[in-house]
Each structure stands twice: as C-alpha cells, then as structure tokens.
Amino acid sequence: MATNKMKAPASDTKEIVDVPWAYRETVDRLSPGGRYIDMGTDVDSPWVPFGDGAAIKHLMFDVRTNTYSNILWMKGPGTIGTHLHRGTVTMVTLTGSVRYLEYDWVGTPGGLILEVPGEAHTLVTEHPEGCKLFGWMNGPIDFFDAEGVYADTVDVWWMITHYETYCKENGIPLNPKLYL
Amino acid sequence: MATNKMKAPASDTKEIVDVPWAYRETVDRLSPGGRYIDMGTDVDSPWVPFGDGAAIKHLMFDVRTNTYSNILWMKGPGTIGTHLHRGTVTMVTLTGSVRYLEYDWVGTPGGLILEVPGEAHTLVTEHPEGCKLFGWMNGPIDFFDAEGVYADTVDVWWMITHYETYCKENGIPLNPKLYL
Amino acid sequence: MATNKMKAPASDTKEIVDVPWAYRETVDRLSPGGRYIDMGTDVDSPWVPFGDGAAIKHLMFDVRTNTYSNILWMKGPGTIGTHLHRGTVTMVTLTGSVRYLEYDWVGTPGGLILEVPGEAHTLVTEHPEGCKLFGWMNGPIDFFDAEGVYADTVDVWWMITHYETYCKENGIPLNPKLYL
Amino acid sequence: MATNKMKAPASDTKEIVDVPWAYRETVDRLSPGGRYIDMGTDVDSPWVPFGDGAAIKHLMFDVRTNTYSNILWMKGPGTIGTHLHRGTVTMVTLTGSVRYLEYDWVGTPGGLILEVPGEAHTLVTEHPEGCKLFGWMNGPIDFFDAEGVYADTVDVWWMITHYETYCKENGIPLNPKLYL
C-alpha cells in the first residue's frame, strides 16, 4: 500500500482483469459514465461562429460546477480582447501559435497553458493560419469592450446557449454526450 | 449583463485594455500565477520511464486538490492493465491511437476522453507507434495485478515522487513551474 | 465593476428583484437545482449505524466528482482509527469535542477543521457525550486496521451503499434530494 | 479491496497506527497542511461589518480555485438583496432562521443549504435575532441593486480585500491560517 514500489503498470495483461470492486451495479445505476468525444470532425459537435474570424467547437458542459470544455479556433491572425478570469483554465495549443500581450512566451503545438483566478489578459495569434486551442475551463470569464467597459460574462450557461442556438438555427440535433 | 448578446469577443483591439479590476495588487501578492509549460521538448520536464514500453512527462502537480497533469507515452503496442478511477480524467489523444477493452470506441488524434469516478478499465494501444495521451486527472487511481490483486495507488504524491526520483537520479533540477 | 466599492449588500429590498439573467429557462431545464436538507431530524435522512458507538447521517452524494457530505455522530468517548485522506475534508464541530492524536488542538462547537490530501490521522473524542461533526468531503479515505494493514476505502460509492443498504433493510424510501 | 465489508471503522485503537504511507516526507515538504480555525471567538478572525446589520467572519481563502469560507451574521431581521451565483454554495444554518423569497422552505439550525450555478435569489431572515450561516463557496456571486442593475461581484478577491482592509484599519494582524 502506497509504498511507491510500482515502477511500471502493475499488469500489462491484454485482457480485462476482474478487480474487486463492489459497487459496479451502483456505478452503472448512478454514474453519468465516461465517454469519447470526437474533436477532429463535426460529427459530435459543429463549429459555432464566434465573430467573423473565430469559431468554437463545444465539447462538454458541467452545470453542477460551471465547468466547460471546447476548442477555440482563430482562423487567422486576430485578437480576443482583454478578459478577466474568475476561475481556472487549462489549455493545450493544438495548431498554429498563440500568445498574450501581457506575457513573454509564445504557445506552440504541444504547449500547455495554465490560467488562474484573477488574471486579465489579451489573447493574440499572429500565425498566418491562426490557432486551435483545446480548453478545459472552470468558472466565468468577464469580457470588456475596447474602452474597458464591462460587456458580458461567459460561463457554462453562455456556452450551452451558444451551442444550442446554433444547432437549432441549423437543424442540428443536440448531442446529449456533451452534457455531463 | 448576462443577456447573451455577445456573438463575438467584446473587443478585438490588439492592445491591452485597462479593465476595471480592483484587486490587481492582491492577485500579484497571493496568486501562484498562470504559466506556460512546454510539452514538445524536455526543457520543462523530462520523459520518466514507466516500465519498459512507456514513459510519463509530468506537467502539473496540485497537492491541495490531488490534481495532476501529464503526457502518457506508450512507445508501441501495449497495455496499461485494469485500473480503477476514484476521481475524474480528462484526456486528449495527441498521437497514435488508444482504446479500452471495455468500450467500443477507438481514440485518435483530436479525441477527447472523459472518465468519471467508479470506472475500472484496461487501456490498450494497437498502433505500431503507440500513442501519446495528454491527461488532466483529479484523485487517485488504484492499480491491480494480473490476478486482480490490489498493487498500488497512483495519485499526486506518487506522481511527484516518480518525477523527483528520476530527476535526482539524473541530475535534473526540479522545475518549480510544475508545482501549482 | 470589481472595484470593491461594495461595503454592504447592493440591495436590502425585501422583494425579488428582476435581475438581467438571460439563461433562466436553460437553468430550469438543465440544473439539478439547489435544495434544503434537514439535518436536525430523520425526515430527510436516517442515522445509519457505523459500528456500535457511531452513526452517519448521509446528506449529499455527488458521483461526478466523488464528493459527499454527512454528519458523523460518535455517541460517547471513542476513536476512529488511523485513516489516510486522498482528497479534502471540510468539517464543522456541531456538538461535543474532537481531536486527533497527531495534532495539538481540540475541536469544539463552532470549530472549522480543514484537511488536505496526504494526511493520515486518528480521530478521538473524549467528551462524555461524544461529538457530532458535519463534513463535506472530496475523494476517498483509506482505512487501516490496528496492525496498519489496509482494510477498505471509503468514498462516494461506499457512502451511497452504506445509506441505501440501511434504507432497504428498514423499509425507508431512498431520498432523491441526497443525490446531486 | 472495495468490497464494502467495512461496517465499522477498521480500527478503534486509541493510538497512532503506523500506516504504510510512503510519501510522508513529500507531504511534509509540499502540503499546506490541514488546520483548525476557531469560529466561536474572534481569536482567529474578527467580525467584519457588511453594512449596518450584518457582518462576515472570514475563515478560508483559496485563490487557486476561487473558493472561500466564512460565517455570515445577520444581526436581526433583514435582507441580502437578489444575487446571482456563478458557482456553488454549501451552507449550514448555525443560529436563527433563514429563507429565500424564491423558495418555500425555512432554514433552521441543523439545516444544510445547497446552491448551484445559475441560481438568483433573495435571502431573508425574519428571526428576531437574525441568523448565523456557515458557508463554503466556490466561484463568484453577482450582486444587483434594487433596480436590478449590476453592482459588484463578490469572489475570493473581494473576500480577501474585505478581510484585509478591516484588519489594517483596526491594527489586527493578518492570520496566515486563513490562506490555504
């Protein structure tokens, strides 16, 4: 128990091992279940326009904790204006490159970006093909206009509405897999 | 306020907008701060062997909530034996392919895998080049041997020890960025 | 916006103010909803025996995050043997007193106890009437026997089974309010 | 393992059992540690006025997740005007009584109140002695004035500033225990 003796997976047997787990029926009855969501196509979730030069592919909505996941696609050089995070962000650069005017690094594919509550910053991509950013976010994000006047708050409810409005307008059935 | 009027980012001005945020000094004083962690090279974090055919690149440790992030690299066809999740997993397939013996989907690049507490499953890659999986995990994972006997529990403390032991043995300085 | 100008609640009008919240219908459709759970009687949840000298009143089960809430009632002087926390605990002493053999404080009514991942400790009450502890817990707790041998893990699934087994044996209907 | 065989604590030995936990040194080095915070006196944290008829005793600030804990004391009949929750609230009625204009229950001592993202409601106490409410909150709360105009957002940064400003004005040293 907890002796860190394990230097490799305890088993590499390519078969299902019957582990002593007494709650299987309870899990089957009460768990929403894990799932696989395809991000590479539009089968599970469409690209929903976010202004002229960007789009969002919504991947997960958790209304109990105000958590949501998506890919933000900036289709060419562009900016997401200064916004303020009330919660946390975990983001992976999938394609292109991205940076913040406030920081000195440039995110490239295989870059992990962590953001924490209380940060306000301005997202820029200068890559000719923009960027795709996978994000896993908790809590709201406050957006401001170019004069610094509060404009709107984006959180799980905004995201759901963004997704559902587009689906309804385009005759796309809502995908229950996206709702945790 | 909260009228979902925002169809595009409130500002696309490529300059830092002075948002009315009264707590900047407090954030500077108390926040651990966001950060950028390079996953594409060994600069921020080395590949630490996990058995003969796999390795882990550790990216983030949060000891307050038992949350951790890493890339699991399986270098060729192989198996991570049946294990039981006590918490949640968010995983993105970066390269190759992966599936679970218990489920009917195959994860490919751009695939998002969500796992929830109470699931036990057996991870397999049959891709000739294996797979790289980005993972963001909360809570412990119980591992069992090929006979279904409990072997060890992997959580943030196991992960930290896995990382630090390898670094010490190889004269690699610990990277403070990885500790949230 | 966020200038900390608010030294008092923005409104103390004893009437419902129509706030500009665009997502009311979506919330009604998708949110599990807030709720009130009575802890003072057995109406919402019975006392379920936990050995001879203790009982647990289960209050909330969240299977998505392995979070659970309950009151632990120790009916007189007694001990909960050494156990190891994988996640977090927030506990309020409601009656009596409690301490841990490992620490130097004694918890009395109005005492807030915070516990974090990786702590192992031994809970003792020496109060003639024992104690009642309100707890809000995330993640599993590993229990060991008097020889330090691993015995069992308590988490949301154990808690649900503890509650449901007792209810079934005693003809008490399961209370859907307890399942978030 | 995980067979729910445990009907009582695995051990009731009133002594510290040496559990096989390999990470003790790592925990000692990296964990912020659990702690006990006295809510019954002003020793750990003072009552900070929140308008004329209310006060807040701050208990915990977690800036990494925007989580905070406190006691809200309404000193007599009164109202906290309509506000909107972006995150979750876990609240225990300690004294007096409390209700929301929007719901049909009345919270009394020993009552557990759960709130989830997207709820807007108006808190009222009609008890001659008001109420004391222990709360554990994640994420921001938006406040509106009597005309429904957005006034301010309360989150962990507001709470820290509320606490620290009062302490500085009154020569009370900041208590490091409150900062997780």
In a structure prediction context, what are the per-residue pLDDT tens digits for chain B, which is 180 residues long?
A: 445 568 889 888 899 999 989 999 999 999 999 999 999 999 999 999 999 999 999 999 999 999 999 999 999 999 999 999 999 999 999 999 999 999 999 999 989 999 999 999 999 999 999 999 999 999 999 999 999 999 999 999 999 999 999 999 999 999 999 999
Helices (H), D61-155: none
Contact C124, C79 (CB under 8 A): yes
Cβ neighbours of B61 in C, within 8 Å? none
Q: Which residue of A has its CA nearest to C32?
A: A64
For residue C63, the 8-state DSSP code is T
pLDDT of residue C2: 44
Put simply, the answer to whether C30 touches A179 (Cβ < 8 Å) is yes
- Report pLDDT digits (tens) over D61-76: 999 999 999 999 999 9
D24 Cα to chain A: minimum distance (Å): 10
CA atoms within 13 A on the CB side of B92: 23
Neighbours of A175 (CB within 10 A): 16
D136 Cα to chain B: minimum distance (Å): 16
A31 Cα to chain C: minimum distance (Å): 6
Put simply, the answer to whether C64 touches A64 (Cβ < 8 Å) is yes
pLDDT of residue B6: 85
A177 Cα to chain B: minimum distance (Å): 10
Of A117, A140, A156, the CB nearest to D63: A117
Residue-range domain boundaries for chain B: 45-173
Asked if pLDDT for residue D13 goes beyond 60, the answer is yes
Put simply, the answer to whether D112 touches C39 (Cβ < 8 Å) is yes
Name C105's Cβ contacts closer than 8 Å, sequence gap at least 6.
Answer: C99, D36
d(CA A62, CA A60): 7
Cβ neighbours of A78 in B, within 8 Å? 12
pLDDT of residue A2: 44
Neighbours of A35 (CB within 10 A): 18
pLDDT of residue D3: 52
What subunits touch chain D, counting only 3 or more CB pairs under 8 A?
A, B, C
- Report pLDDT digits (tens) over D127-159: 999 999 999 999 999 999 999 999 999 999 999
Cβ neighbours of A116 in D, within 8 Å? 63-64
Put simply, the answer to whether B151 touches A10 (Cβ < 8 Å) is yes
pLDDT of residue A4: 59
Put simply, the answer to whether C140 touches B138 (Cβ < 8 Å) is no
pLDDT of residue A142: 96
What subunits touch chain B, counting only 3 or more CB pairs under 8 A?
A, C, D
Radius of gyration from C-alpha coordinates of chain C: 20
Angle, alpha carbons C30-C34-C36 (nearest 5°) = 150
pLDDT of residue C1: 42
Radius of gyration from C-alpha coordinates of chain D: 20
Contact B125, B97 (CB under 8 A): yes
Class in CATH terms, A45-173: mainly beta
Cβ neighbours of B161 in D, within 8 Å? 22-23, 26
Mutate to test the interface with D, among B19, B25, B26, B175 (most CBs of D within 10 A): B26
What subunits touch chain A, counting only 3 or more CB pairs under 8 A?
B, C, D
Put simply, the answer to whether D65 touches B63 (Cβ < 8 Å) is no
D67 Cα to chain A: minimum distance (Å): 9
Put simply, the answer to whether B60 touches A112 (Cβ < 8 Å) is yes
Cβ neighbours of A161 in C, within 8 Å? 22-23, 26
- Residue ranges in chain C modelled with pLDDT below 50: 1-2
pLDDT of residue A110: 87
- Give the CA distances from residue D92 to residues A48, C41, C136, D107, in Å, rounded to whole numbers and listed in that order: 42, 15, 11, 9
User: Counting one residue from A and one from B, how many pairs have CB atoms under 8 Å apart?
Assistant: 282
Of A6, A148, A154, the CB nearest to B19: A148
Residue type, A117: P
pLDDT of residue D110: 87
- Report pLDDT digits (tens) over A22-80: 999 999 999 999 999 999 999 999 999 999 999 999 999 999 999 999 999 999 999 99
C28: three-class secondary structure by DSSP = helix
Mean pLDDT of all residues in chain A? 95
- Give the CA distances from residue C42 to residues B173, C57, C71, C112, D111, in Å, rounded to whole numbers and listed in that order: 57, 8, 12, 24, 12
Burial class (CB in 10 A: 0-12, 13-18, 19+), D101: middle
D65 Cα to chain A: minimum distance (Å): 6
